[in-house]
Homo-oligomer: A and B are copies of this chain.
Amino acid sequence: MSGNTLGSLFSVTTFGESHGPAIGCVIDGCPPGLALLESDIQFELDRRRPGTSRHVTQRQEPDTVEILSGLYQGLTTGTPIALLIRNLDQRSKDYGNLQDTFRPGHADYTYQHKYGLRDPRGGGRSSARLTAPVVGAAAIAKKWLKQQYGTEIRGYMRQLGEIALPFEGWQHVNGNPFFAASGDPALLARLEQAMDALRKSGDSIGARIDVVAESVPVGLGNPIYDRLDAEIAHAMMGINAVKGVEIGDGFAVVSQRGSEHGDELTPHGFASNHAGGILGGISTGQAISVSLAIKPTSSILTARHSINLAGEPVDVATRGRHDPCVGIRATPIAEAMLAIVLINAALHQRAQCGDVAGGTLPDIARAASGTPITPITQ
Contacts and interface: CB of A to CB of B under 8 A. Distances in A.
Contacts of A109: 265, 279, 284
A167 interface: no
Contact of A248 (B117, B205, B243, B354): B243
Given A24-B68, A309-B378, A374-B311, A304 B110 contact: no
A245 to B, nearest CB: 5
28 contacts: A2-B11, A2-B29, A3-B226, A11-B13, A13-B26, A16-B82, A17-B70, A23-B69, A32-B116, A32-B117, A78-B115, A110-B221, A110-B280, A114-B356, A114-B359, A116-B356, A126-B280, A161-B254, A203-B258, A205-B257, A206-B255, A243-B250, A251-B293, A258-B296, A258-B300, A262-B304, A264-B304, A351-B351
A80 interface: yes
Interface stretch (A43-51, A53-61, A231-239): A231-239
B265 A302 contact: no
A64 interface: no
Contacts of A154: none
A125 B282 contact: no
B254 A245 contact: no
Contact of A262 (B103, B218, B254, B278): B103
A166 interface: no
Contacts of A242: 229
Given A24-B68, A253-B294, 19 more contacts: A2-B8, A3-B225, A30-B352, A72-B121, A72-B124, A79-B119, A106-B262, A107-B223, A109-B279, A110-B283, A203-B257, A230-B234, A230-B237, A237-B245, A237-B247, A243-B246, A258-B298, A260-B296, A311-B376
